[in-house]
Structure 1
Amino acid sequence: MTPPETPPETRPETDAPLVRLIDDDPDLLAAQIQSLRRAGFRVEPFADPRAALEGLGPDYPGVVLSDVRMPGLDGFELQRLLAGRDPDLPVILLTGHGDVPMAVAALKAGAWDFLTKPVARDELTAALRRATAARALVIENRALRQLAREAPPPADPVLDGDSAPMRHLRAAIGRLAESGAEVLILGPAGSGKSAVAEALHRDGPLRARPFVTIDCPTLDPARFEAEMLGSPGAAGQGRVQGRLERAHRGTLYLSGIDRLAPVLQPRLLALIEASEIWPPGAAAARPLDLRLLASSREDLGRMAEEGRLLPDLHYRLSGVALSVPPLAARREDLPALFRRLLVDTCTRGGLPLPQMTVAVRARLAGHGWPGNLRELRQFVEATALGLAPLPGGDGDGTPPGLGDLVADYEAELIREALRLSSGNASRAMERLKLPRKTFYDKLTRHGIRAADFRD
C-alpha cells in the first residue's frame, strides 16, 4: 500500500538526514512518515522489507529504521542481511516488550540500537540523529580513503565545488580564458585569486607561453627597474632578464595591485603601457606584448577616488572584473574541498591519512573561515599532523571545556538550520523550535547573520 502524501510544507530539504523506514502496517507507516518529516528527516518508506533491501550497501548515505514483527522477513533477519552488506550501516529496530531479549542479541550481532514501542518522538529522533551523524562520518572516511587511492587532479582543487558561486566562477573563467581578455580578479585575502589567474592562463591561448607573477606589495622601489627590466649581470656573465621581458608573448600577473607603493604606480603604468622596453645593457629595444592579469582585495575605483591609486592605473586595469567568492559563500563545498586538500597534503608529506572526527566535522560546519582558503589550508596541515585544535579550544592543545563544546554544537545547529532554510529566519526558528527572541539572542551571541545564508 502506498503511504498517503505528506503536505509539502512538512517535507524536509533534499540534504536533510536520510532514513529508510520499514513497517508492514500502513497506518503506522504513514504516521511515522509524517512525524519524521516534521522532525527534519528525509524518509524513504517501505511496507515490504525485501523491497527495502534494494540500494542498501556501502554507499548508502542514510540509516535504517525497521519494525521487528513483519511477515516473510523480520527485522532481525533484515539486520543480519544488512550487516553482511555493510557492517557500518546503522540499523535501529522498533521492538515490542516481548522482543527485548532478541533485540539485545541483535545489538551483539551489530544492530545500532533498539527502541521499545511505543517510543516517544524525541527519543526516536535523538537516536536517529546520532545514527545519521555516525553514518556521515563513515561515508566521509570512506571518501577520504577512496580519494587517496585516486591520482590527484592536475588543477588546483580550490576551484572545485558544486556550489552555485563556484559553478558561476568556473564558467566565467572558461569564457574569459579563451577570449584572451585582460582581467581584474577581485576577492578577499586567501580566497584563491592566484589560482584563478593561473587558470585563466592555463586554459587560454597563451597556455604554452610564460606565466610571470609580480607580487606588488613586496616590490622594492630601489630595485624596481632591475626587477622589471633586468640588469647587465656580473663580469663575464650574460645580462639578467627582467620580469617584463620574461613575460613577453605570455601572461603578466600583478598580484595585490591594491597594495602597490604609490611611488611605483606611475612607473609601473608607464612600463605596461609601452609596446617596447629598453633593458639595461641591451643593444636595442625589446618588443613587449603580453596579456595582463591583476588581483585586488579592494575596489580600485574607490581607491582612485580616495587618492590611494593612480586613476590612470585604475582605468588601465579595470576593463573586465571577475569576483572570487569567500569560503563562507560556498560552505557546501567545504567537505569535498577539505578531503582533497587533506589527501594532497598527506600524499606530498608521506603522512598517514587521518580519520575524520566529530571535532573536525564540527569545525568545518561551524567555523566562519575569515581567512578563507589560506586558513583552511592551515587547518588541513594541522589535521594531517594530528595538531588540529578542537572546537572551542584555544589552538594551543588545551582541551575545550563542556561549555565551549556545547556552544560550538549549538552554533553549528543554528548555521545548519539557516543553510537548510536558505537564510529564512522564520523557517530556521520553526526547524529549531525556538521563539523569536531566543533565536535572535543566540544569533547575536554566536556572531551569526541570517543574511549570509541567503541564495
Structure 2
Amino acid sequence: MEHDTRILLVEDDPHVRHAAAQSLELADLDVSAHATAEAALAELDNGAVDGVAVIVSDVRLPGIDGFALLDRARERDPDLPVILITGHGDVAMAVSAMKGGAYDFIEKPFSSERLREAVARAGAQRGLILENRRLRRELAQRRATGSLPLIGTSAAMEKVRRLVSNVAATDAPVLIVGDTGTGKESVARHLHDLSVRHDKPFVALNCGAVPETVFESELFGYEAGAFTGAAKRRVGKLEYASGGTLFLDEIESMPLALQVKLLRVLQDGVLDRLGSNQSVKIDVRIVAAAKGDMLALVESGVFRRDLLYRLNVVTVAMPTLAERRDDILPLFEYFVADAAIRYQRAAPELGAARRGALLAAPWLGNVRELRNAADRFVLGVDEALDAAAMPIDDGSAPSLKDRVERFEKGAIADALAQCKGSVSAAAERLQLPKATLYEKIKRYALHGRPDSVDEGRASI
C-alpha cells in the first residue's frame, strides 16, 4: 500500500481506537483515527477522496452508525473499501452490509494480525482501482490527441526517440520506414504532438486501403459536378489537414500518376481539386511511412525518385520487436493495463513462466502482435501464450520448433478473429497465400469462414 494513502479508523471506544491505530501504524500505514462517523465524513469532504485507502469503522457508533457511514462513503466514492467492526450479535447485519457494498467485516475481539491482513487486502484492491483511474485518465487524454507513448529503453528506441525530438519542431518531411506493426503511426503522431502544429488536425490516410479509382478525390478533393455523383464540393485529406500534419501510411502503394501531384504540393504548397481550374494554397506537413525497399521500387519504376527525395529529408527507421527485446515486457505490461481498462477486467498477474514465453516468442507481427496478445491475455483466451508458458512435464524447455508453432497458431487465430473469420482477409493481413493459410488452419484445427470466391472449398 502506498504511504500517501490514509486509513480512516472510526471507533468510539478510546482504548480499542488507540490499539487499532497503533497496530496499523506499526505496519507503516498512515492512520487518521476518529471517535464519530461525522468526523470521518468531514475529513472525506475536506480532502481528496482518492487519498483515502480504506475506511475501518465500528458498527455501533454515537450519531451516524457504521452502516450509514458505509452508505455515505459509497455516495462519495463507490469503490472506497469499508471494513466494518462488529460485535457478536451484529454478524448477521454485517453480512447483509457486505451484500450492500462493505468490503469485509471483523468480529470483536480481533487480533492485530486479522486487522492488518484485512486492511492490506482492501488497500491492495484500492491501489489497483486508483491506478486504473490514473491510467484511464492518461489513456483518455492520449486517445483524445491520438498520442501513444514511445515505450522502450532499448538502444534502438532511444535512437528513434532522439531523432523524433530533434526534428519534431521543424516542418521537414519525414519518411518512417519499417516492417508492419512496428509502430510507424505512433511515431508520426509524436512528430505532430511535439510540433507547433499540435493544436491543428492530424489526418491519417492509408494509401494501401484506398482504391485507385477514388484515390485522387480522396487526397485532393473535388468540385461539384467533377464526375457523376459529385453533387457538392468535397475537401480532400490534404486540404483538410492544412495547418497540421498529413500522415500517408503505405506511401509505396500510391498510384504513380498521383505521385507527381503530391510532388507539386511538397514543392509549391498548392493543390488542384478534381474538376477545378483554381489552385488552393495549403500549409501542411507531410509525414509518410513505408515498408519494404523504397530504392528497389524506384529502380523498378513503381515509385518516383524525385518524390522519394522530397519525402525522406529525414528518415526514421523503426526497429522490429526482435531488435528491441528489452522493450517486450514494458510494452506488454502497458498494453495489459490498457486492455484491462478497455475491457473492464482486472489485469492478470504476469508470472515468471509467462515472462519467459514473451521473451522467447518470435513476434513476427511486431508491436501490433504483442498488443493483440495482451488483449487476449486480459480476456483469458491466449492459448498460444498459455501453452508457451506451461512447464514441460520432463523439466525440459520447449524446442524452438514447438515455440514457433505455438505462436504461429496464436497469430493465425488472432488474424481470423480480427477479420471475423474471413480467410481471404486474414491471408492478406498475415501476408500469406490463401492456400497456405488454409493448410495451416486445418493443421492447427482452427476455424475460418471461406469467402464467396472460395465456396468451392470444403468448409473449415
Decide which of 280, 284, 290 is 1:296's aligned counterpart: 290
1:225 alignment partner, SS class: helix
Correspondence 1:170 to 2:154: no
User: Which residues in structure 2 correspond to 1:417-432 (within 5 Å)?
Assistant: none
User: Which residues in structure 2 correspond to 1:80-229 (within 5 Å)?
Assistant: 148=132, 150-151=134-135, 152=138, 154-155=141-142, 156-157=147-148, 159-229=150-220
- Runs of 5+ in structure 2 lacking a partner? 4-26, 29-124, 404-460
Decide which of 316, 325, 329 is 1:322's aligned counterpart: 316
| Partner Cα separation in structure 2 for residue 149 and residue 405 of structure 1 | 42
| Partner Cα separation in structure 1 for residue 321 and residue 149 of structure 2 | 10
CA contact (8 A) 1:366 1:411 kept: no
Correspondence 1:355 to 2:346: no
Following superposition, the deviation at residue 262 of structure 1 comes to: 3.8
Cα gap change, 1:372/1:405 in structure 2, threshold over 3 Å: closer, same or farther? farther
CA contact (8 A) 1:390 1:400 kept: no
After superposition, the C-alpha distances for 1:350-391 in whole angstroms (9 at most, x for unaligned) are 122222234421221111211111110110111011011245
Amino acid at match of 2:296: R
| Partner Cα separation in structure 2 for residue 379 and residue 405 of structure 1 | 25
Tell me which residue corresponds to 1:245. Answer: 239
| Partner Cα separation in structure 2 for residue 147 and residue 321 of structure 1 | 37
Cα gap change, 1:171/1:394 in structure 2, threshold over 3 Å: closer, same or farther? closer
Aligned length: 277
| Partner Cα separation in structure 1 for residue 259 and residue 271 of structure 2 | 17
Cα gap change, 1:411/1:315 in structure 2, threshold over 3 Å: closer, same or farther? same
After superposition, the C-alpha distances for 1:400-444 in whole angstroms (9 at most, x for unaligned) are 9747972259999xxxxxxxxxxxxxxxxxxxxxxxxxxxxxxxx
Tell me which residue corresponds to 1:98. Answer: none
Following superposition, the deviation at residue 168 of structure 1 comes to: 2.1
| Higher alpha-carbon deviation: 258-267 or 247-256 | 258-267
Tell me which residue corresponds to 2:328. Answer: 334
Report % sequence identity.
30
CA contact (8 A) 1:217 1:259 kept: yes
| Partner Cα separation in structure 2 for residue 215 and residue 241 of structure 1 | 17
Following superposition, the deviation at residue 330 of structure 1 comes to: 1.8
Following superposition, the deviation at residue 288 of structure 1 comes to: 2.0
Following superposition, the deviation at residue 157 of structure 1 comes to: 4.9
Cα gap change, 1:209/1:308 in structure 2, threshold over 3 Å: closer, same or farther? same
| Higher alpha-carbon deviation: 384-393 or 176-185 | 384-393
Correspondence 1:256 to 2:250: yes
Following superposition, the deviation at residue 232 of structure 1 comes to: 4.0
Cα gap change, 1:394/1:166 in structure 2, threshold over 3 Å: closer, same or farther? closer
Amino acid at match of 2:248: L
Amino acid at match of 1:305: E
Following superposition, the deviation at residue 299 of structure 1 comes to: 3.2
Cα gap change, 1:230/1:350 in structure 2, threshold over 3 Å: closer, same or farther? same
Cα gap change, 1:283/1:410 in structure 2, threshold over 3 Å: closer, same or farther? closer
After superposition, the C-alpha distances for 1:95-126 in whole angstroms (9 at most, x for unaligned) are xxxxxxxxxxxxxxxxxxxxxxxxxxxxxxxx
Following superposition, the deviation at residue 253 of structure 1 comes to: 1.3
| Partner Cα separation in structure 2 for residue 253 and residue 292 of structure 1 | 6
2:247 alignment partner, SS class: strand
With normalisation by structure 2, the TM-score equals 0.52
| Partner Cα separation in structure 2 for residue 401 and residue 196 of structure 1 | 40
| Partner Cα separation in structure 2 for residue 260 and residue 143 of structure 1 | 49
| Partner Cα separation in structure 1 for residue 395 and residue 295 of structure 2 | 43
After superposition, the C-alpha distances for 1:163-220 in whole angstroms (9 at most, x for unaligned) are 2222222121111101232111111111101000000011011111111112111222
Cα gap change, 1:389/1:310 in structure 2, threshold over 3 Å: closer, same or farther? same
Amino acid at match of 1:250: G
| Higher alpha-carbon deviation: 209-218 or 402-411 | 402-411
| Partner Cα separation in structure 1 for residue 277 and residue 240 of structure 2 | 17
After superposition, the C-alpha distances for 1:134-182 in whole angstroms (9 at most, x for unaligned) are xxxxxxx999888536333555555122222222221211111012321
| Partner Cα separation in structure 2 for residue 403 and residue 312 of structure 1 | 61
User: Which residues in structure 2 correspond to 1:383-422 (within 5 Å)?
Assistant: 383-391=377-385, 393=387, 402=393, 406-407=397-398
Cα gap change, 1:160/1:240 in structure 2, threshold over 3 Å: closer, same or farther? same
Cα gap change, 1:403/1:222 in structure 2, threshold over 3 Å: closer, same or farther? farther
Amino acid at match of 1:173: V
Tell me which residue corresponds to 2:270. Answer: 276
Decide which of 331, 341, 345 is 2:339's aligned counterpart: 345
With normalisation by structure 1, the TM-score equals 0.53
Cα gap change, 1:281/1:265 in structure 2, threshold over 3 Å: closer, same or farther? closer
CA contact (8 A) 1:392 1:408 kept: no
